[in-house]
Amino acid sequence: MSKKSRSKLWFLVHSWLALPIWFFVLIVCVTGTLAVVSQEIVWLANPDIRASKPSDDAEPLSFDQVIAAIRRDEPKAIVRSIIRPDESHFALTVGLSYPDGRTVEAYANPYTGAIQGISPSFNFQQFTRALHGWWLVPFTNGYSWGWYLVSLLGLPLLASLVTGLVVYKRFWKGFLRPTLRIRHGARIFWGDFHRLSGIWSIWFIAVISITGTWFLIQAILGDNQISISSEPIVPVIARDKVPLSAPGVPAPMIALDEAIEIATQRIPGLDATFAFLPLNAYSHLQIGGRGWYPLMFQTAQLNPYNGEIAVSHLLSDRSTLEFVTESMRPLHTGDFGGLWIKLIWAFFGLVLSMMVLSGLLIWTKRTALATLNALKREAKVQRAPIAKLAETSEAHS
C-alpha cells in the first residue's frame, strides 16, 4: 500500500469513528462538561448551598456544634451524615431523616449550623451525572446498559486521538506555529480549529478516554462479581460490644468530634471532611477525608460506644493497582483539587464538544465539496450550466 493511500485509510478511519454517532458523542461531551461544574452551577442558582459568613471573624463550627444547632432548630430530624465539601464557599451537606419518612440532603451553614434549605426534588447535579453517566437507563440488575453505552465511547475516543495524530502530519509543529485561518472560508476555519484544539487537548482526550474505558472495565468486573478491592468487609459490631442500658434509653455514644480526634490520631495527615453516623445500633460510625494524595479518601470505622477503631482503610492499605483504578474517577470528573481544576476540566470539556461539532462540519463541507466536484465533472461533460452554479456556491462555503 502506498504511503498516500495508507494515510487516506487512516483519515477514513478517523472520520468514521465519531461520524455515525456524532450527536450522541456531542451530548455525552456537553452533559459531562455540565456535570463537572454542576455543583458550581447550583451554587450560582441556589443561595441555600452557599456558605455565607454571618460576620467577618466567624469561625466554622465543629461537627458536634452543627448537630447541636440542627437539634435545636429541628428537634425531630435525625442527622445521618455530614459532609464538608472541598471548597469553603459551599454549605455543609447534611443527610437528614424526617419523621414523615423523607431522607434528604440539607444544606447547613458551616458557621452557624442553621439549615438553609433542603435539596430540591430536582437535583441538577445528580440529573446531569445520570444523563452523562448512564443515559438515564435505570440500574435493575448490575450496571445499567446505558452505562455500557456511554462508557463504550471511551474506545472510539481513544482511537480518534491516535488516528488523529497519525493523520495530522508533524502535529508537534502546530504547537510552535499555531494556525487558525479565519478569512479563508468555513471549511478552512473549522479544519484549523479542529487541529489546533486537538493538539492542545491531547492530554485531556487521553485522560477522558482512558478513564472512560475504565468505567467500562469497572462495569464488566462488577457484573461478573470480580473484585480488586483491598477494602475490608466490615462485620457488624459484636453483640457484647454494644452496651445494655435501661429500657427506652439508647446506649450513649461518643461525641462526633471525639471520634474525629481518634481517627485523626490513627490516620496521620487525615483531613476529616465527612462523617457517616451509624445506620443502626450494631453499625459503625465512619469518619473519612483526604490525605496526602488528593485523589483518594481514607476512612476509619469506629465503634460509636467506646471509640474503638474496628477497621481503617488508609492510602498505605491500597495496592498499586488500586492507586491507578481509584484515581480514575476523580481524573475523569476533575474533582480533586478545588474550583480551578474543575474549571480547567470544564473548559477542555467544552473544547472537546466543539471538536465533535467541528469534525462533523468538516465532514459535511468535504462531502458537499466532493458532491459539487462530481457534479462539475458531469456538467462539463454535458455542458450544462450547473457548473457555474457549483462554482459560486463553492466560493461561498
Partner 1 sequence: MSKVAAVPASPLRAFWRKWRFHINVLLLLIPLGFMPKYFADAALFRGDTGLGERVAGQVQVGPWSLTLAEFRNEGPSPDPAGPMKFFNAALCDSCTEQVKATYLRIGKPRSLRAAGVIFFGTPYRMGAALPVPERTPADAELWVTMEGWDGTMHQGSIPLSQASPATIAWLNKQGVKP
- CB of 62 within 8 A of CB of 272? no
Q: Are 190 and 179 in contact (CB under 8 A)?
A: no
* Set of cell numbers at residue 339: 474550583
Rg (CA), the chain: 28
Q: Are 54 and 112 in contact (CB under 8 A)?
A: yes
Residue 50: strand pairing partners = 90
Question: 143 and 223 in contact (C-beta within 8 Å)?
Answer: yes
182, 226, 244, 395: which one binds partner 1 (CB under 8 A): 244
Distance CA 211, CA 331 (A): 7
Site size toward partner 1 (CB under 8 A) is 58
Decide if residue 104 touches partner 1 (CB under 8 A).
Answer: yes
Of 13, 78, 155, 350, the one binding partner 1 by CB under 8 A: 78
Q: The C-alpha cell of 236 is what?
A: 457488624
Binding-residue pattern over the window 79 to 98 for partner 1, x denoting contact by CB under 8 A: -x----------------xx
368 lies in the site for partner 1, by CB under 8 A: no
Binding mask 199-238 for partner 1 (x = CB under 8 A): --------------------------x----------x--
Taking CB under 8 A as the criterion, which residues in 15-54 touch partner 1? 19-24, 27
**Given candidates 159, 210, 314, 386, which one binds partner 1 under the rule CB under 8 A?**
386
Residue 340 is which amino acid?
W
> Least distance (Å) from partner 1 to the CB of residue 352?
18
CB 20 within 8 A of CB 180: no
Give the residue with the Cβ less far from partner 1, 273 or 283. Answer: 283
Question: Of 338, 268, 325, which Cα lies nearest the Cα of 298?
Answer: 268
Strands 285-290 and 103-108: unpaired
Q: Measured from the CB atom, is 69 or 137 closer to partner 1?
A: 137
Contacts of 225 (CB under 8 A, 6+ apart): none
Q: Is 127 in the site for partner 1 (CB under 8 A)?
A: yes
For residue 265, the minimal CB distance to partner 1 (Å) is 28
Q: Which is nearer to partner 1, 5 or 392 (CB)?
A: 392
Instruction: Give the interface with partner 1 as residue ranges (CB under 8 A).
Output: 19-24, 27, 78, 80, 97-104, 121-123, 126-127, 130-131, 135-138, 140-141, 146, 149, 225, 236, 239, 242, 244-251, 279-283, 360, 363, 375, 378-379, 382, 384-386
